[in-house]
Amino acid sequence: MHKKKRTFHTVNDIPLRYKFLLIYVVSILLPIIAINLFFYQRTSADIKVREQENLRKSIDRAAGELVGMIDESVALSRMIAADDSLYEALDRTYASPVDYYNEYHVFLRDKLTRYMSANILEVRIYTDNDTIQTGSHYIVMKDKTTSLPGMEQLNQANGDILVIDYEEQSGFSRGKRISVIGKMKTFTSYATYAKYSKIDLEVNRIYSILNRETNSLQLRLVDGNSRPVVSSARFPAEGWSSDAKSEYIMEKSLGNLAYLDGWKLIGVADTRHVDQLLDEARNSILWLAIISVIVPSVLIYFILRSYHYRIRKLSRHMEKVRNERFDLIEIQEGRDEIGGLIRTFNMMISKIHSLINDVYKLEIRHKDLELDQVRTELSMLQSQMNPHFLFNTLNALLVVSTKNGYTEVSEIIKSLSLLMRQLLSRSDNLIPLEEELQFTTLYLQIEKFRFGELFDYTLDIDPKAAGKRIPRMSIQPLVENACKHGLQARKNGRLIHITAKLGESGLVIRVIDNGIGMEQDKLRQLIQDVRSDQAKDGSHVGIRNVYRRLELFYEGDATFTIRSEKGSGTEAGFHIPTDRL
């Protein structure tokens, strides 16, 4: 049980996007890849088996045609050996060449031509009857040039017929020869002279049979001594056996008859054809895999994006609730479980807003009571000293200072009079930045009179920002705080720099002093006091009022910042987004 709980806790700790990614990889991507790899292997194996079968059929077909040619020649050789009239003519002793030629023209000339066919190049008979004249189809064996090729092998063979191959060096048609030679000893009564038949196969016909399969198979005809006889046009070089793959090398025996003992066809498959088929299969399966991955991936992306986007929205708004910002989730909720959660959240936020409004109403009533109390106190003060009396007194002091040439005193009295008049006459609302800076400048002039040469101030104001409206009394309290807490302890060179920049993101206002600054712990405590309802020691009321006023007018969209370093001064300011200006 504990292991199961730990497993579930581990799964719960994984971020949602990684869970979705894990589901996609394990349940979709890997199975698709594995299935396509398995399919490719099976398809490749089937292609190889099919091609090997086709190659086997090709070599069987070629071997069958070659055996047919040889069998035809063997049958012809036996027909010649069974012709007794031919025996009688060849076994006769002729008194003179004239007698032979008479016999030749009457009988022997056309005797062998009737056996000719498309598969037979030439038919000849060899004899040691020296009364016959060598020529055409009849050859007298006198020396090596006119001897029968393969006669020694024939005499050593068990049978009367043998298939041989040799190179013809004489005559008009030189080159490779494949011949069927046979002993003519059927009729013992005509055995005065030895007689042999030799039937030459049409080598070009053999070449055409071998080259017919060159698109897929290269063939070589090998004799009984394992010597190559005839090869197709592109048969590999002598080192083919070590380079070619064993499954693409085939042998086919031409038969088990004595005269074809050891003769065989060797086939080497043209792997380019097989490779082309494998490439086509691989490309087809690759495209199938790509489509199989892309289509589910796009579908899953949109489905999971719907879940992830709404859950992330819900999570972010719950973080805002933690920061006391109660915003509704304004998206298409949907009708599924996530949509139900979003609707429930929005209902909860609406109820919280309602509760907060009720609390605010109670607080406003409380503030109204406090305001009534303050008004009562002001009325008591006004009964003691009318503000007009204060302004008249300041004017009297101004006249006396002007008569006596107290120029600086006159200027400071003017500034103080204007400052008090604006404080008493203005309501707490949005005013142009230009007016707020004028009011702040009056205060800075008073501070300048107070500190003299030990104090100075500068303003860097973007002309485009001058007309933008900001809360009243949002800059002067920051300046006052800088003079009171930052510059008071500095002996000389006191400086305050005010900037206002209008950019794409909004209006940025900063008040920078070169005072003593503060440590980070004190800065964090100050930020905490500013964001609380009441400061622990009652200090920094002005900064807290600026923060509250920004929250009131901009509903949390404006940001208030304070940065400081010990001995390097302090920077305080705020940023108002463009859409709230």
Q: What does the pLDDT average to over 512-520?
A: 90
pLDDT bracket for residue 386 (50, 70, 90)? very low
Q: Does residue 377 carry a pLDDT above 70? A: no
**pLDDT of the residue at 374:** 52
CB atoms within 10 A of CB 40: 18
In a domain, residue 379? The reply is no
In this structure, the answer to whether residues 202 and 348 fall within a common structural domain is: no
Task: For residue 124, give the 3-state DSSP assignment.
Answer: strand
Q: Provide φ and ψ at 228, rounded to 5°.
A: -65, 135
Q: Does residue 202 carry a pLDDT above 70? A: yes
**pLDDT of the residue at 335:** 77
In this structure, the answer to whether residues 325 and 305 fall within a common structural domain is: no
For the range 188-194, what are the long-range contacts, defined as Cβ-Cβ under 8 Å and sequence gap of 24 or more? 190/84, 190/87, 190/88, 190/90, 190/91, 191/91, 192/91, 192/93, 192/129, 193/90, 193/91, 193/127, 193/128, 193/129, 194/127, 194/128, 194/141
**pLDDT of the residue at 238:** 46
**pLDDT of the residue at 369:** 55
**pLDDT of the residue at 247:** 58
In a domain, residue 327? The reply is yes
**pLDDT of the residue at 241:** 42
Q: CA-based Rg of the chain, rounded to a whole angstrom?
A: 58
In a domain, residue 410? The reply is no
The alpha carbon of 299 is separated from its chain's Cα centroid by a whole number of angstroms, namely 18
CB atoms within 10 A of CB 468: 19
Q: Does residue 422 carry a pLDDT above 70? A: no
pLDDT bracket for residue 447 (50, 70, 90)? confident
More confident residue, 155 or 309: 155
In this structure, the answer to whether residues 259 and 358 fall within a common structural domain is: no
CATH code: domain of residue 474: 3.30.565.10
In this structure, the answer to whether residues 28 and 158 fall within a common structural domain is: yes
AA letter at 535:
A
**pLDDT of the residue at 426:** 52
First to last CA, the chain: 59
Cβ distance 216 to 209 under 8 Å? no
Secondary structure (DSSP) of 164-206: EEEEE-SSSS-EEEEEEEEE--S-GGG-SS-EEEEEEE-HHHH
CA distance 473 to 29: 62
What tens digit of pLDDT does each residue of 132-179 get? 988 878 999 887 667 888 888 888 888 889 999 888 876 666 788 899
**pLDDT of the residue at 576:** 93
Q: What does the pLDDT average to over 494-517?
A: 92
CA distance 548 to 473: 12
What tens digit of pLDDT does each residue of 26-38 get? 887 888 888 888 8
More confident residue, 409 or 150: 150
In this structure, the answer to whether residues 212 and 290 fall within a common structural domain is: yes
CA distance 451 to 445: 10
pLDDT bracket for residue 496 (50, 70, 90)? very high
C-alpha distance from residue 543 to each of 475, 525, 535, 568 (Å): 9, 13, 11, 20
Task: For residue 488, give the 3-state DSSP assignment.
Answer: coil
Q: Does residue 242 carry a pLDDT above 70? A: no
CA distance 547 to 549: 5
Structural element, H or E, at residue 576 = strand 569-577
Mode of pairing for the β-strands spanning 195-201 and 217-222: unpaired
The residue with tokens 């860097």 is 460
In a domain, residue 288? The reply is yes
Q: Which residues contact 321 (CB under 8 A, 6 or more apart)?
A: 349
pLDDT-wise least confident of 147-151, 235-239, 561-565: 235-239
Residue range of the domain that includes 575 = 429-580
**pLDDT of the residue at 292:** 80
CATH code: domain of residue 282: 3.30.450.20
In this structure, the answer to whether residues 298 and 330 fall within a common structural domain is: no
pLDDT bracket for residue 239 (50, 70, 90)? very low
In a domain, residue 5? The reply is no
What tens digit of pLDDT does each residue of 523-560 get? 888 888 888 766 555 567 788 888 888 888 888 889 99
Q: Which residues contact 460 (CB under 8 A, 6 or more apart)?
A: 497, 498, 499, 500
In this structure, the answer to whether residues 123 and 28 fall within a common structural domain is: yes
Residue % of the chain over a pLDDT of 70: 81
Domain boundary residue, one of 328, 346, 367: 367
The alpha carbon of 74 is separated from its chain's Cα centroid by a whole number of angstroms, namely 68
In a domain, residue 238? The reply is yes
pLDDT bracket for residue 244 (50, 70, 90)? very low
CA distance 382 to 255: 138
Number of domains in the chain: 3
More confident residue, 323 or 129: 129
In this structure, the answer to whether residues 453 and 502 fall within a common structural domain is: yes
C-alpha distance from residue 297 to each of 36, 80, 301, 327, 405 (Å): 16, 80, 6, 34, 87
In this structure, the answer to whether residues 363 and 447 fall within a common structural domain is: no
User: Given CA atoms 464, 469, 473, 474 in this order, what sign does their dihedral have?
Assistant: negative
pLDDT bracket for residue 196 (50, 70, 90)? very high
∠ CA(392), CA(397), CA(400), 5° rounding? 125
Round the average pLDDT of the chain to a whole number and report it.
Answer: 80
Task: For residue 577, give the 3-state DSSP assignment.
Answer: strand
In this structure, the answer to whether residues 359 and 470 fall within a common structural domain is: no
pLDDT-wise least confident of 168-177, 336-345, 510-519: 168-177
CA distance 560 to 572: 8
Q: What secondary structure letter does DSSP report for 135?
A: B
CA distance 307 to 123: 91
Q: Does residue 310 carry a pLDDT above 50? A: yes
Q: Does residue 385 carry a pLDDT above 50? A: no
Q: What does the pLDDT average to over 70-93?
A: 90
Residue of 138, 104, 108 lying closest to 122 (CA atoms): 138
User: Given CA atoms 222, 227, 233, 234 in this order, what sign does their dihedral have?
Assistant: positive
In this structure, the answer to whether residues 225 and 346 fall within a common structural domain is: no
In a domain, residue 500? The reply is yes
pLDDT bracket for residue 497 (50, 70, 90)? very high
CA distance 287 to 32: 12
Kindly report whether the global pTM for this prediction surpasses the value 0.85. Answer: no
In this structure, the answer to whether residues 528 and 561 fall within a common structural domain is: yes
**pLDDT of the residue at 254:** 87
Helical spans, DSSP H, in 323-428? 337-384, 387-403, 407-425
**pLDDT of the residue at 171:** 61
In a domain, residue 101? The reply is yes
pLDDT bracket for residue 360 (50, 70, 90)? confident
C-alpha distance from residue 507 to each of 434, 463, 555, 558, 569 (Å): 13, 12, 16, 10, 23
Burial track 119-138 (b if 16+ CB lie within 10 A, e otherwise): bbbbbbbbbebeebeeeebb
Q: What does the pLDDT average to over 326-331?
A: 79
Tokens representing 380? 């008591």
Beta-strand (E) ranges in 34-74?
none
The residue with tokens 């500068």 is 458
